[in-house]
Chains A and B, each alone.
Chain A
């Protein structure tokens, strides 16, 4: 039986793996706005749904994915929680074991998205 993996968390792992820094700012508004822009540019992100809001567009799906990646793949730095810490070692290990074969074809997209995110966040 073939199990189809849904995938925002896996996509985020692919993107965070390409980050040059292992930290980024925990600014929910900035993160959601950045992903909203990127969603319109990259097909791999097209399934992230956003709800329009006067203050800023928000994605509950993105919130849930960022929450679900914690604590093993992503953490928040205590005590201020101002920054996310990418747990590169675990991400690399998981990528090699579980995602490389399936998502390897998107590596260039992940690289480009990571560069754009790093500029914004």
Chain B
């Protein structure tokens, strides 16, 4: 496998012109952002810490932060994460869900360090993990630095902006299939400005010569390259990584939905092993994190907790309605050329780096229509369900669910469908107030990448023992709901509901029963 990271520091002519140009332009835009957020004026105010500090977290308690980590933590780049809520707009549904990416970042550091400490109890693992400890800790601190406002809410919009459409969806792009915010984090960390900052303030000031900036970025995007270092990546970006452990506990806890994973058991059972990939009919050898067969309980708990979070929190219909309202605003702002500090035109993925949850709502003062949309969000005058697409409301719902796939042209298609409904309903409201929302399922594959030690030198993927991914998928399948959203007014929603049923029948040959009207309170 060639090293896609070459693209960050050498002229690379192997990609088509269109991709090459986009990479260069995105790199420049990201560097412009990093320059602002690591401006000398701010950075020089960060002291030289002689000692570390302890920070208290509501979830994991007290943790120690090393002096050089405090410098990174003090940068506006990291402090910006205090202004981005971890779970987007869920706080308008689960009122205590106000935790931010900053808290999550510290939580990931806490979980990563617990994983490392657990491994270090065994001398042979200590030898393996020690050289990478500081790199892993910084990967934990920096892994979400590329998030935009409301975290995954904006990510679902900017992934379809022209620049990222090319980088993420063009089959010849070195970044195809990558997660949008991880790509932004990676571009920030590998930017010229961040490297300069790192060399002077971390490497030189603290003599941290063992920390590898490229390795940090590779860990974050899951592209470590060397199969014998896979265990290093797995702590931050793996089947049961520190990121998942923190967000499952944190999102569950602050939503008021406590989810249990037996972490003590997981720490106790953690191992690093060499696995011959012939066990999955493949070639080569990897060195990765494993757990013994008698300790797979926590892994199953992780998977099921994730599914519960998706169905109850992330895919709650009011959360989805707010996500649609966010998109409405972005489309409006792009059309009206509302521009924040001349940086955010809402048309490039990199524009969203300039926004946080705080300054996003400043647009309310810019323009009357913007004021209306944003105040409807802030004061919870939300779009409501006009139609529910589910197993219980229509027999042919797979025909519609086909469009839940995150394909390059999915969103324009769904916007066209919403416009058809709007016209069929007699244009009873603004076009941007009607949305067809078909949530994508949570990512799967954990069970294929988790190796279980059956006996000495015998390893199998978790999926060969228990089909946990399939069980979880089956569970969420029963809870999957697509929606057509419209304005809160009942009479308008009735019109939209009727029109949507007609459009879906014409388009997909699908009929709805009365249960949708009962759920939407339109009967």
Chain A positions near chain B (C-beta within 8 angstroms): 1, 3-10, 26, 28-30, 39, 46-56, 58-61, 63-65, 67-73, 76, 80-82, 94, 97-98
Which residues of A are found within 8 Å of B227, using beta-carbon distances?
Answer: 54
The answer on a CB contact under 8 Å between B280 and A55 is yes
Which residues of B are found within 8 Å of A28, using beta-carbon distances?
Answer: 444-445, 448, 463, 469
Shortest Cβ distance from A9 into chain B, in angstroms? 4
Q: In residues 366-422 of chain B, which contact A (Cβ within 8 Å)?
A: 396-399, 401-410, 412-413, 416-417, 419-420
Q: If the complex has contacts A1-B420, A51-B178, are A81 and B470 also in contact, measured as CB distance less than 8 A?
A: yes
Shortest Cβ distance from A57 into chain B, in angstroms? 8
The answer on a CB contact under 8 Å between B477 and A70 is yes
B168 at the interface (CB under 8 A from A): yes
What are 6 A-B residue pairs whose CB atoms fall within 8 Å in the complex? Answer: A1-B416, A7-B407, A9-B402, A52-B223, A60-B177, A67-B404
B169 at the interface (CB under 8 A from A): yes
Which A residue sits closest to B395, measured CB to CB? Answer: A72
The answer on a CB contact under 8 Å between B171 and A46 is yes
Shortest Cβ distance from A42 into chain B, in angstroms? 12
Q: If the complex has contacts A49-B171, A98-B509, are A61 and B470 also in contact, measured as CB distance less than 8 A?
A: no
Q: If the complex has contacts A67-B473, A73-B398, A94-B399, are A55 and B413 also in contact, measured as CB distance less than 8 A?
A: no
Q: In residues 230-269 of chain B, which contact A (Cβ within 8 Å)?
A: 230
Which residues of B are found within 8 Å of A10, using beta-carbon distances?
Answer: 402
B282 at the interface (CB under 8 A from A): yes
The answer on a CB contact under 8 Å between B398 and A72 is yes
7 closest A-B pairs by beta carbon, nearest first, are: A51-B177, A72-B398, A9-B402, A81-B470, A49-B177, A64-B405, A49-B176
Which residues of A are found within 8 Å of B280, using beta-carbon distances?
Answer: 29, 55-56
Which residues of B are found within 8 Å of A63, using beta-carbon distances?
Answer: 441, 443-445
Query: Which one of A4, A50, A52 lies within 8 Å of B1 (CB-CB)?
Result: A52
Which A residue sits closest to B409, measured CB to CB? Answer: A6
Q: If the complex has contacts A3-B417, A39-B171, A50-B176, are A29 and B448 also in contact, measured as CB distance less than 8 A?
A: yes
With A28-B444, A51-B222, A81-B467 known, 8 other A-B pairs at CB within 8 A are A4-B409, A4-B412, A28-B448, A30-B281, A47-B408, A50-B176, A63-B441, A64-B404
A73 to B402, CA, bound (A): 10
Shortest Cβ distance from A5 into chain B, in angstroms? 7
Which residues of A are found within 8 Å of B509, using beta-carbon distances?
Answer: 97-98
Which residues of B are found within 8 Å of A80, using beta-carbon distances?
Answer: 467
Which residues of A are found within 8 Å of B223, using beta-carbon distances?
Answer: 52
B277 at the interface (CB under 8 A from A): yes
The answer on a CB contact under 8 Å between A3 and B405 is no
B224 at the interface (CB under 8 A from A): yes
Which residues of B are found within 8 Å of A72, using beta-carbon distances?
Answer: 396-399
Which residues of B are found within 8 Å of A73, using beta-carbon distances?
Answer: 398
Which A residue sits closest to B417, measured CB to CB? Answer: A3
Which residues of B are found within 8 Å of A4, using beta-carbon distances?
Answer: 409, 412-413, 416
Shortest Cβ distance from A80 into chain B, in angstroms? 7
Q: How many of chain B's residues touch chain A, expressed as a range?
A: 35 or more
Shortest Cβ distance from A30 into chain B, in angstroms? 8
Chain B positions near chain A (C-beta within 8 angstroms): 1, 4, 168-169, 171, 176-178, 222-225, 227, 230, 277, 280-282, 286, 396-399, 401-410, 412-413, 416-417, 419-420, 440-441, 443-445, 448-449, 461, 463, 467, 469-471, 473-474, 477, 507-509
The answer on a CB contact under 8 Å between B403 and A55 is no
Which residues of B are found within 8 Å of A67, using beta-carbon distances?
Answer: 404, 441, 444, 473, 477
The answer on a CB contact under 8 Å between A55 and B277 is yes
Interface of A is mostly: loop
Residue among A5, A48, A68, A71 with the highest chain B CB neighbour number at 10 A: A68
The answer on a CB contact under 8 Å between B286 and A6 is no
Which B residue sits closest to A55, measured CB to CB? Answer: B449
Shortest Cβ distance from A73 into chain B, in angstroms? 6
A30 to B277, CA, bound (A): 13
Shortest Cβ distance from A102 into chain B, in angstroms? 13
Which residues of A are found within 8 Å of B440, using beta-carbon distances?
Answer: 64
The answer on a CB contact under 8 Å between A70 and B398 is yes
Which A residue sits closest to B438, measured CB to CB? Answer: A68
A30 to B474, CA, bound (A): 21
A73 to B225, CA, bound (A): 38
The answer on a CB contact under 8 Å between A54 and B420 is no
Query: Which one of B396, B407, B412, B444 lies within 8 Å of A61 (CB-CB)?
Result: B407
A27 to B404, CA, bound (A): 22
A28 to B444, CA, bound (A): 10
The answer on a CB contact under 8 Å between B168 and A49 is yes
The answer on a CB contact under 8 Å between B470 and A68 is no
Residue among B225, B410, B445, B467 with the highest chain A CB neighbour number at 10 A: B445
Which residues of A are found within 8 Å of B277, using beta-carbon distances?
Answer: 55
Which residues of A are found within 8 Å of B467, using beta-carbon distances?
Answer: 26, 80-82
Which residues of A are found within 8 Å of B406, using beta-carbon distances?
Answer: 60-61, 64
A53 to B4, CA, bound (A): 12
Q: If the complex has contacts A68-B398, A70-B398, A72-B399, are A61 and B171 also in contact, measured as CB distance less than 8 A?
A: no
A9 to B441, CA, bound (A): 14
Which residues of A are found within 8 Å of B402, using beta-carbon distances?
Answer: 9-10, 65, 68-69
A58 to B237, CA, bound (A): 15
Query: Which one of B286, B413, B470 lies within 8 Å of A76 (CB-CB)?
Result: B470
Query: Which one of A5, A54, A71, A81 lies within 8 Å of B286 (CB-CB)?
Result: A54
Which residues of A are found within 8 Å of B286, using beta-carbon distances?
Answer: 54-55
The answer on a CB contact under 8 Å between B399 and A53 is no
A47 to B169, CA, bound (A): 7
A70 to B227, CA, bound (A): 35
Query: Which one of A9, A49, A55, A60 lies within 8 Å of B443 (CB-CB)?
Result: A60
Which A residue sits closest to B405, measured CB to CB? Answer: A64
